[in-house]
Structure 1
Amino acid sequence: MEAHYRLLLNAFPARHRRQYQEEMLGVLMDRARPGQRRPTLVETVDLLRAATSVRLRALRDTADDHGWSTAAAVIGIVAAILLASLGLRNLVVHLGWRLLVDDIMVRSLPDVLHDLVWLPVVLAALVGWRTGAAAIAWLVTLAEAVVLVERYRMFPTDLLYGLRPLLVAVIASVGLAMSVRHRPVAKLLGRWRTAGLLLAGLLVVGSGVAALLQVTIVPLPGGDAYRETDGRIYFRTLHLSVDLPATVLYLIALVLLLIVLAPLAGSVRRRIATVALPVVVLYLVIDRSFLGYRMATYHFSPPLPLSPEQWVLLALPPVGVFALGIVGLYWYEGRRRPDPVR
């Protein structure tokens, strides 16, 4: 009988068991009827309900702790700066191509606004308008999701290209919303580290300029407007060569970001890494596992929608990595946390 009760009590968190298990076990054994060999159905349901309640309460408390609130504030602004920088990079690259090739299609106003839409979020967060930054971020994210769903019907590959920034947008929105009650990120990080984040964003924008500087003039006979040869794309008389300087700028921006985050508390850094890992995993999954699908959808008509197996492949790795990260985070911190009973 005692073994069955102990098995049910394992549903409670370890710290709760260490503090209350013997007391709960004593109460359960005292209430057992003579000759009873197993817990009743009512007892089983009641214990599982209580264990679930304790775990949910612990999860709520940990979500409100200082580590998560600080991490959310940092994650929100970093993700917003990344999205704003990538949007500005797209705009700079297109304007550069317009200067090099006169007959490239002019970007529409919605496309330009799409490139600039995260700038107000960054500005609002930096000046301390936390509620406004979170509200704008959520509006932009929901609009991005709606547009992505609509484009998927006509161009399924757009989902693959848009899913990664959409995930970053969701992370930015959640982080900014969680940090509404936190102090402004400029005060949290300080003047110099905030400037470091902005400099990293400018390096991302600068990578677009570096890519344009790698454009080499190559004469093409026949006046073809577009040709693809040996994996190299030619546009009239222009050839975009290896983007090494842009890659170097990306790496410098990454190193600068790590320098900015290094002085944060270990608990904050661990939470930031837990949230960042699913984005990296999703990027690798799309980049490595969907090349054949992208080529098939590009060359065949009508476009091929994603199969159920491909949806699972898209969703399972990042979700699984995030779940394992959360479990590993609390397991690690639970081992380091002193036992309140001792």
Structure 2
Amino acid sequence: MTLDHVYRRLMACYPRAYRRQYEDEMIGVLLDDAAPDQRRPAARDVLALLGGALRAHVRQAGARFSADPWREAAQALALIAALTLFVRAARVPVLHLAMLAQSYPGGIGEPVVLWPGGPVAVLWLIVAVLAVVGWARAAAAVAVCGATFEVVRVAADYGQYSTVFHLWPAVLAAMIPLALVVRAPRSAGAALARWRLGTLVAATLVSVAAPSVALVTGADNATAPIYGTWIFTAGVGRIEAILLTAGYLLFALAILSTPAVLRRRLLALVVPVAATLLLTRVGLGSTGTFLERSTHDGVLAALTPAQWLVLVLAPALFFAVAVAILHHRERSGSRIA
């Protein structure tokens, strides 16, 4: 293999557009600097080429993510994620209020303990409202508080029970302030349009109220609980399951009905959360899985370093693959057009 072939193989690490513009020129310079009988590139040249390839990919990725569609997708994701976490935090406090109201028809009449779900739900609701009106920086500041709570709660669960079952909300919460600090030409409300905002509001109300409606109507008293690893992690009645499913479908409708450019990026941004959910619910959440964990006296053992590595790197890898597929499809579509 000639020195020219070796350099061209190293140049294959660079982005395609970069190679088209600079490959021949760079190889020419490297060959001119080489010794007459040199067959292998010098170590410093290999390191320089690989380092340059990494910088070129980083610059290319930065240029892609700085485009307006990615910025608007980040704002939309922040809004949808905040509403999702609001639903998750608000269902139990609202159910508690419904139980008290049912027990005391004349009024609650006594203090209600809503910690910690109530304050956390209020935080995420504030984030969602601020994101809709375009106050992204203020929303990001509030989101940091909510994300801190989610991370602390997951850390406490892991410290006490060695479980990462509820890691995905912490990942989603951590993404919200990062998404909100990205400057976009339009707010999340403007990017999603009014009817989609209405759909998201309806989805939020239905999902939050589902347990309370089932309780107040008493329709689920005679039905067997429904369980499911993915959707219903605790037993729910039939009416509650129907309402929750309707809420989830409304969330899906709001996302899938967005313009294709925005929808693809929204789905790509959700991939790390979905990968975390997959790993923690089917992989690392319990025993008897493809990443099985041992137990001691019925308590899960701590994650091994290899399992932590998978848990950290897999979502990032899946996200990179999703972005690569997205841009490949869009490039192919633009060529056909």
| TM-score band, normalised by shorter chain | 0.7 to 0.9
Structure 1 distance, partners of 2:300, 2:278, is 21
Partner of 2:51: 49
Q: How much does 1:183 deviate?
A: 2.1
| Contact 1:73 1:182 (8 Å CA) reproduced | no
* 1:75 paired residue among 64, 77, 91: 77
- The structure-2 alpha-carbon separation of the partners of 1:85 and 1:325, relative to structure 1 and needing over 3 Å to count, comes to same
Deviations 1:300-330 (CA, angstroms, capped at 9, x unpaired): 58x5452316545644543442232233233
8 A Cα contact 2:70 2:265, kept in partner:
yes
Query: Cα RMSD over matched residues?
Result: 3.5
In structure 2, distance between residues paired with 1:42 and 1:155:
50
1:326 aligns with 2:323: yes
Give the stretch that moved more between structures: 32-41 or 278-287.
278-287
CA contact (8 A) 2:226 2:241 kept: no
Name 1:133's counterpart in structure 2: 139
Question: Are the aligned partners of 1:91 and 1:112 in contact in 2 as well (CA < 8 Å)?
Answer: yes
Residue 216 of structure 1 is matched in structure 2 by: 221
Structure 2 residue matching 1:69: 3-state secondary structure = helix
Matched, 1:166 2:170: yes
TM-aligned CA deviation for residue 61 of structure 1: 1.0
Q: Report the equivalent of 2:38.
A: 36
1:23 is aligned to 25
Q: Are 2:269 and 1:275 equivalent residues in the alignment? A: yes
Which residue identity lines up with residue 255 of structure 1 in the other structure?
Answer: L
Tell me if the contact between 1:12 and 1:51 (Cα under 8 Å) persists in the aligned partners. yes
Q: Structure 2: how far apart are the matches of 1:9 and 1:73? A: 36
Change (3 A) 1:94 1:197: same
What is residue 225 of structure 1 aligned with on the other side?
none
User: Hey, what's the Cα distance between the residues in 2 that align with 1:84 and 1:242?
Assistant: 19
Q: Is the 8 A contact 1:121 1:134 kept in 2?
A: yes
How many angstroms apart in 1 are the aligned matches of 2:202 and 2:76?
Answer: 16
Greater displacement, 246-255 / 194-203: 246-255
Closer/same/farther in 2, CA of residues 7 and 251 from structure 1, 3 Å limit: same
**Matches of 1:96 and 1:297 in 2, distance apart?**
41
Report if the CA contact (8 A) 1:215-1:241 is conserved: no
- Output one character per residue of 1:176-229: Cα deviation in whole Å (capped at 9) or x when no partner: 222x444222222222222221111112113222442444279xxxxxxxxxxx
Distance 1:211 1:314 in 2: 37
Structure 2 CA distance for aligned equivalents of residues 214 and 284 of structure 1: 33
Do the aligned partners of residues 43 and 242 (structure 1) sit closer, same or farther apart at CA in structure 2, a change above 3 Å counting?
closer
Aligned mates of 1:99, 1:292 — CA distance in 2: 41
- Equivalent position amino acid for 1:176 in 2: L
Q: Could you report, residue by residue, the CA deviation over 1:57-103 in whole angstroms, capped at 9, with x for unpaired residues?
A: 1111112112211110111100011111222222122223445679x
Letter in 1 for 2:165: L
Structure 2: give runs of 5+ residues left out of the alignment.
Answer: 105-110, 228-233
Give 1:67-216 correspondences, 5 Å limit.
67-99=69-101, 107-157=113-163, 159-161=164-166, 163-178=167-182, 180-212=183-215, 213-216=218-221
Q: Does 1:245 align with 2:239?
A: yes
Letter matched to residue 73 of structure 1: Q
**Aligned-partner Cα distance in 2 for 1:217–1:327:** 50
* 336 and 30 in structure 1: CA distance in 2 versus 1, 3 angstrom threshold: farther
2:263 alignment partner AA: R
Change (3 A) 1:36 1:108: same
Query: Per-residue deviation at 1:42?
Result: 2.7
Amino acid at match of 1:216: N
Alpha-carbon distance in 1 for matches of 2:248, 2:300? 36
Residue 291 of structure 1 and its aligned partner are, at CA, apart by 4.2
The 1:16/1:337 distance shift into structure 2, 3 A limit, reads farther
Does the C-alpha gap of structure 1 residues 326 and 232 become closer, same or farther in structure 2, counting only changes over 3 Å?
A: closer
TM-score (norm. length: structure 2): 0.79
Superposed counterparts of 1:295-314, under 5 Å? 303-308=299-304, 311-312=308-309, 314=311
Mapped to 2, the partners of 1:263 and 1:231 lie a distance apart of 33
Aligned counterpart, 1:226: none
Residue ranges of structure 1 left out of the alignment (5+ in a row): 219-229, 234-239
Q: CA deviation at 1:131?
A: 0.7
CA distance in 2, matches of 1:266, 1:82: 22
Higher mean C-alpha deviation, range 164-173 or range 275-284:
275-284
Q: 1:153 to 1:26 in 2, by over 3 A?
A: closer
AA paired with 1:52? Answer: L
Partner of 1:54, secondary structure, is helix
1:4 aligns with 2:6: yes
